[in-house]
Amino acid sequence: MEKMIVMGGKPLNGEVTISGAKNSAVAVIPAALLVDGVCRIENVPNINDVTVLLNILASLGAKHRYVSSDVIDIDCTNLKTHVVPYEMAVKMRASSYLIGSLIGRFNKAEVAMPGGCNFGVRPIDQHLKGFVALGADVKLEHGVVNAVAEKLIASSIYLDVVSVGATINIMLAASKAEGVTHIENASKEPHVVDVANFLNAMGANIKGAGTDVIKITGVRSLHGGTYSIIPDQIEAGTFMLAAAATKGNCLIKNVIPKHLEAITSKLIEMGVQVEEFEDSVRVSRTGELKATNIKTLPYPGYPTDLQPQTVALLSIAKGVSVITESVWDNRFQYIDEVRRMGADIKVDGRSAIIQGVHELMGAPVKMTDLRAGAALIIAGLAANGVTELANLVHIDRGYENLEQKLQALGAQIVRKVCDDAPEFPDVKKHA
């Protein structure tokens, strides 16, 4: 088993470059299924979720080749099937995007119900409602979604919840439907806009992405082209929170500062300095952290995908903070692990009540999902002593070269294959 060993207490200092957005990449790659021709996708993060999706596309007959470490050519001209192997689809949540793309391409799709991080019920009823509105007959049989349409016809679809996945999935299918589709109460997340921009670059006609009504005029076919994925808002936020937690000073490069505004303003409330530049932000802290209250919300609100990392930071802020999770119904499973490190947190329904402690202590902990893993790393970096993290499979799904990037900022973090004691020369001095 692999473990990460973090020797806490060192401020993060220096520069880090943010990779392409995971949640864009995992939608843009399935979107390539709609394209006749070669899509060159740039700024693709090198993470396991991308590898899984490329393997799924290959199983459908697509070809891909890495032009460089973050540029991929995908050619879906000669797809041979609309059926996604069951065991591949259940590996990740984003496999649901294969349904929209395959219906758009073949008027039919057979894809297992998606897997992904487990934080409560994760229905796809709004996705399916969208496909039905576009004229598909959708059945759920033996864990597999089977959708068939004679032809896709545009429709007006009101989403009962603001759903990133449903918005993107309906956009994918509707790009090839006959007529003009409206998605109302659409998600406004940066990666929704990114997928719309990708599709438009390949010849689609989508307007309004980034607002709550998206208008999609169907086209007969999409052509090849080149597209660069936006920087990862959540990876950037994770480094901002890590810099603040360790009393560091980091220049976080290749970001879109507008996407980070909710995080920036909350960090400033906590007493952290944040300077914005054109495509970078500098985060530094010299004084004490102040408690604050946060509610996660769809974009432009505070992102749920930074909730665990923010709890890790607030666990060492002076005073009582309340963080309310309004997107997912059970995204506090990791809190038991942060408590092992000495955090004083109570969960009451959808809120975590955090009584800040003077310092966290290193401990053996387990990642319970992707962002929980990032939270535990932040806690470990800020803690006194050694933290040993297990279940790295979660973090590898979504962060590119995380420990190398942290090491370059001065963190003492290593990955080990066995249960050996850590080999930091100064462990005893700090522990």
Phi then psi for residue 388, to 5 deg, are -115, 115
117: contact with ligand EPZ by CB under 6 A: yes
For the window 255-294, what string marks contact with ligand EPZ as x by the rule CB under 6 A? ----------------------------------------
Report yes or no: 172 and 96 within 8 Å, Cβ to Cβ: no
Residue type, 256: I
Number of residues lying near ligand EPZ (CB under 6 A):
25
Decide if residue 31 touches ligand EPZ (CB under 6 A).
no
Task: Provide the annotated active-site residues.
Answer: 117
Give yes or no for residue 412 binding ligand EPZ (CB under 6 A): no
By CB under 6 A, tell whether 135 contacts ligand EPZ.
no
Strands 71-75 and 293-295, by their bridges, are unpaired
Question: Of 164, 171, 183, 195, which lies in the binding site for ligand EPZ, with binding defined by CB under 6 A?
Answer: 164
Site for ligand EPZ in 313-342 (CB under 6 A): 327-328
Residue 229 contacts residue 250 (beta carbons within 8 Å)? no
Give 3's contacts (C-beta < 8 A, 6+ positions apart). 388, 389, 390, 392, 415, 416, 419
Q: Which two tokens stand for residue 25?
A: 């990449």
Contact 57, 29 (CB under 8 A): yes
Residue 362 lies near ligand EPZ (rule: CB under 6 A): no
Q: By CB under 6 A, is residue 166 in contact with ligand EPZ? A: yes
127 sits near ligand EPZ (criterion: CB under 6 A): yes
Site for ligand EPZ in 185-204 (CB under 6 A): 187
Residue placing its CB nearer to ligand EPZ in the complex, 122 or 290: 122
Burial category of 272 from C-beta neighbours within 10 Å (exposed 0-12, middle 13-18, buried 19 and up): buried
CB-neighbour burial class of residue 108 (10 A; exposed 0-12, middle 13-18, buried 19+): middle
Span of 163-171, 205-213, 254-262, 351-359 interacting with ligand EPZ by CB under 6 A: 163-171
Q: Does 126 bind ligand EPZ (CB under 6 A)?
A: yes
Rg value, the chain, Cα = 22
Q: Is 375 in the site for ligand EPZ (CB under 6 A)?
A: no
Q: Does 158 bind ligand EPZ (CB under 6 A)?
A: no
Cα atoms in the Cβ-side hemisphere of radius 13 Å centred on 211: 7
Q: Is 119 helix (H, G, I), strand (E, B) or coil?
A: coil
Which member of 370, 382, 395, 411 binds ligand EPZ (CB under 6 A)? 370
Q: Does 94 participate in binding ligand EPZ (rule CB under 6 A)?
A: yes
| Interatomic CA distance for residues 5 and 413, integer angstroms | 6
> Residue 182 or 282: which CB sits closer to ligand EPZ?
182
124 counts as binding ligand EPZ under rule CB under 6 A: yes
Edge-to-edge order in the sheet of strand 180-184: 156-158, 180-184, 213-217, 205-207
Binding site for ligand EPZ (CB under 6 A): 23, 26, 93-94, 117, 121-127, 161, 163-166, 187, 304-305, 327-328, 370-371, 398
